[in-house]
Structure 1
């Protein structure tokens, strides 16, 4: 199960690190132009906060488990990312946009959380 957890967490971390970095370093107008029309509903600070949460979650998926320092933080980070993606899914559904990417990432985050709790607590 540990191998499955590492594979899922590595993929999730890459995706969330890339998505968060893009939101953190690009201005709101560039994100909107790139097709992220949901940014209309959020302030610049709100978008940067979402980006920071995604980056922190990506780091939380890897570092605690890798270092062995408070490894329970890894499934907690996955749980937080699942909640973040649940919120993203609600925003996309409300705007009549495709929620599939956020739903898939949310489900994978839940799988990571369950696997993480099983591995860490066993």
Structure 2
């Protein structure tokens, strides 16, 4: 289970670290080709979302790695499940109805919660 956690959590952390960094450093014009919903959020909310994603990615990796506050890992994974639930709602209420990636990320985060509880 430990190896499975590191594989799944590592991939999830890489994705969210990358996505969060993009939201932190790029303008809405640069993000629009990748994220059609970007115009529906004010810039401070977009930056906050990027910060949450980066912190969540760190929360999946750093606590289990250091042994300090390991309960933060499942909390970060639960946060990603909730984040994707919100993302699915944003996609379904807008013009962009593509939610396959969001469903996949929510499922992966849910698996990470399960694996993190068995560490």
Higher RCO structure (Cα 8 Å, ≥6 apart):
2
Q: Above 0.5 in TM-score? A: yes
5+ residue gaps, structure 2, are none
Cα deviation 1:41-85 (Å, max 9, x = unaligned) = 100001001101110110000000000001110111000011101
The 2-side partners of 1:15 and 1:108 are apart by 11
TM-score (norm 1): 0.92
TM-score (norm 2): 0.95
Asked if 1:49 corresponds to 2:48, the answer is yes
Q: After TM superposition, which residue ranges in structure 1, 4 or more long, deviate above 6 angstroms?
A: none
Q: Which residue of 2 aligns with 1:94?
A: 93
| Number of corresponding residues | 118
The 1-side partners of 2:97 and 2:31 are apart by 16
Q: Which residue of 2 aligns with 1:109?
A: 109
The 1-side partners of 2:20 and 2:87 are apart by 13
* Compared CA separation, residues 84 and 65, structure 1 to 2 (3 A): same
Q: Which residue of 2 aligns with 1:10?
A: 10
**Residues 28-39 of structure 1 correspond to what in structure 2 (within 5 A)?**
28-32=28-32, 34-39=33-38
The alignment partner of 2:117 has SS state of helix
